[in-house]
Amino acid sequence: MGYRVEGNGPSVAQKSVTKPMGRFVCTNPRGGADDSDPAATAAAARLGPPSAFCEGTLHEPVMPHNDLSDNLMSLQSHILLEEARHPSASGDFTWIISAISLAAKSIANHVRRARLSGAIGRFGEVNVQGEEQQKLDVIANKALMRCLGTRASVAVLASEEDDEPSILRRGNEGGKYCVLFDPLDGSSNLDTGVGVGTIFSILRNDPSIPDAQETVCQPGTQQVAAGYVLYGSSTIFVLTTGNGVALFELDPFIGSFLLVKDKVRIPESNKVYSVNEAYAPTFPEPYRKYLEWAHTSGYSSRYIGSMVADVHRTLLTGGVFMYPPTKKNPEGKIRYLYEASPMAFIMEQAGGLAFSGANRTLEYKPSKVHERVPVLLGSRSEVERVRSFGG
C-alpha cells in the first residue's frame, strides 16, 4: 500500500485503492545543490532554473480490498463463536482446537527450518505400518502428543506414528473426546521442500467401551470436527465442525491463524484428476476406464504426492483426488481414521463428495486403528463421473 500521485510529473503510481487528498506542487531539487560538490553543481546546471517540476493530486491510501491484515477473526474467536451456538457447550472443545493450533505453529516452525536445524532425513525406525519414519514425523508427533495430552477433556489419542491409541483419561478421570491424527502427511517429500501437513479428526469418547482401539473405530459420520494444516508456501488451517468449512492462514507476525474464508465451497466441477497414474495398470478396471476417457476429454493431471496438498488444491479449485486399490496396496493406501474420514468430512461440508469403494467414506466403520481404504473425493460432478464408470 502506498500514496499515489496523479498529475503531470513522473509516474509513481502504485497498485492500491486511493482517495484524493488535495493538490500538490513540487519543484526540482537543484536549488539546494551544495556549491562545494562539483558533481551536484553540474547536475543542478543540467536541470536549468528553478521551476514547478510537477503538480497534481495526492491520493490518500485506502486499504486494498484484498488485504486481510486487519482481519482479527482468529481461529480461537471463530471456535468460541461456533460454541456459543450450543448453549450446553463447556469450552472443552475450544481447548482442544487451541492445542492443535499451538502444535501446528510449532510444527510449521520446525518444517520451515528443517534443513537449517538438521531435521531433514530418516529417523532410523520403521512405524507399525512398515513405513520409514522421518525425523520430522517424530517431532510433529511429539508436538501434538504434548499439546493435546495436557488438555483435560482428551480421553484417547491415536496417531499414525504410534502402534496403539493412548488412553489418557477414562471413566472417573473424565475425558470427553478422542483425537486422531496423521502428524505429518507427505513426509517422504520433505527432502524436496514440497508442502506437507497435519490431518486430524475429533470423535466423542464413549467411557463404557474399555478398549481404546474399539473406542476410536467409529464411522466418520460420528466426527465432531475434522481438519488439516498445510505447511506450504503459507501455513493454512482448514476446519469443519459440521457447519461448513472455514479456512485460516497463519499470520507469522502476530502468531495467530486468521480467518481467510468461511463457508468454503468446492467448485461443482473442474477437468482435473489427481492420482498416482504410474499405478494405473493395477487399478480396478473402472478407474482405468475413467482415465482412458479423461485422456481424450480435455482433462489435466495434478499430483503432488502429499494428500493434504492434493486435497487442498482440489478443495479450492475442484476436480477429483483418488487413491484406488493397487497391487501393492489392495485395500488402498490411505488410512481411514486420520486421513480418509476427516478429508471426507471436509469435502462433504464444502459441497463435494467422498467415496471408499461403493459406499460413502463417512459411513464406513473400521475395525482397526490403522486400517486403509480406497479414496475417491472431490467436486460433486467429477466424483459422480468416476463412479459412472463403476469406480
Q: State the minimum distance, in angstroms, from the CB of residue 213 to ligand AHG.
A: 20
Number of residues that bind Mn ion (CB under 5 A): 4
Q: Which residue is nearest to Mn ion (CB)?
A: 185
Is there a contact between 196 and 187 (Cβ–Cβ < 8 Å)? yes
Which class for 183: exposed (0-12), middle (13-18), buried (19 or more C-beta within 10 A)? buried
Candidates 104, 133, 153, 186; binder of ligand AHG (CB under 6 A) is 186
Q: Does 76 help bind ligand AHG (rule: CB under 6 A)?
A: no
C-beta pairs of 25-29 under 8 Å, 24+ apart in sequence: 25/52, 25/54, 25/55, 26/52, 26/53, 26/54, 26/55, 27/51, 27/52, 27/53, 28/53
Whole-angstrom Cα Rg for the chain: 27
Q: Does 310 help bind Mn ion (rule: CB under 5 A)?
A: no
**Nearer of residues 189 and 381 to Mn ion, judged by Cβ:** 189
Q: State the minimum distance, in angstroms, from the CB of residue 131 to ligand AHG.
A: 6
Q: Does 182 help bind Mn ion (rule: CB under 5 A)?
A: yes
Q: Does 182 help bind ligand AHG (rule: CB under 6 A)?
A: yes
Stretch that binds ligand AHG, among 142-150, 242-250, 303-311, 348-356 (CB under 6 A): 303-311
- Give the per-residue contact string, 314-353, with ligand AHG (x = CB under 6 A; - = no): -------------------x--------------------
52: β partners:
27
Q: How many CB atoms lie within 10 A of CB 260?
A: 17
Stretch that binds ligand AHG, among 58-66, 67-75, 148-156, 179-187 (CB under 6 A): 179-187
Stretch that binds ligand AHG, among 42-50, 101-109, 178-186, 352-360 (CB under 6 A): 178-186
Q: Does 185 help bind Mn ion (rule: CB under 5 A)?
A: yes
Q: State the minimum distance, in angstroms, from the CB of residue 187 to Mn ion.
A: 5
CA distance 22 to 291: 62
Q: Does 306 help bind ligand AHG (rule: CB under 6 A)?
A: yes
CA distance 243 to 263: 8
Q: State the minimum distance, in angstroms, from the CB of residue 220 to ligand AHG.
A: 18
Q: Does 302 help bind ligand AHG (rule: CB under 6 A)?
A: no
Number of residues that bind ligand AHG (CB under 6 A): 12
306 binds, among Mn ion, ligand AHG, none (CB under 5 to 8 A by kind): ligand AHG
Q: Indicate the SS3 state at residue 144.
A: helix
Identify residues 120-179 at the interface with Mn ion (CB under 5 A): 160
Question: Residues 6 or more apart from 254 whose CB is under 8 A from it?
Answer: none
Is there a contact between 258 and 251 (Cβ–Cβ < 8 Å)? yes
- In our burial notation (b when 16+ CB lie closer than 10 A, e otherwise), range 118-154 reads ebbeebeeebeeeeebbbbbbbbbebbbebbeebebb
**Nearer of residues 175 and 342 to Mn ion, judged by Cβ:** 342
Alpha helices in 236-360 (DSSP H): 285-295, 307-317, 341-349
Q: Does 161 help bind ligand AHG (rule: CB under 6 A)?
A: no
Candidates 82, 185, 249, 348; binder of ligand AHG (CB under 6 A) is 185
Q: State the minimum distance, in angstroms, from the CB of residue 199 to Mn ion.
A: 7
Query: What are the Cα distances from residue 353, in Å, to 166, 269, 345, 350?
Result: 32, 11, 9, 9
Q: How many CB atoms lie within 10 A of CB 215?
A: 23
Q: State the minimum distance, in angstroms, from the CB of residue 354 to ligand AHG.
A: 14
CA distance 364 to 387: 17
Is there a contact between 178 and 157 (Cβ–Cβ < 8 Å)? yes
Identify residues 121-160 at the interface with ligand AHG (CB under 6 A): 131, 160
List of residues contacting ligand AHG (CB under 6 A): 131, 160, 182, 185-188, 276, 305-307, 333
Could you list the residues that contact Mn ion (CB under 5 A)? 160, 182, 184-185
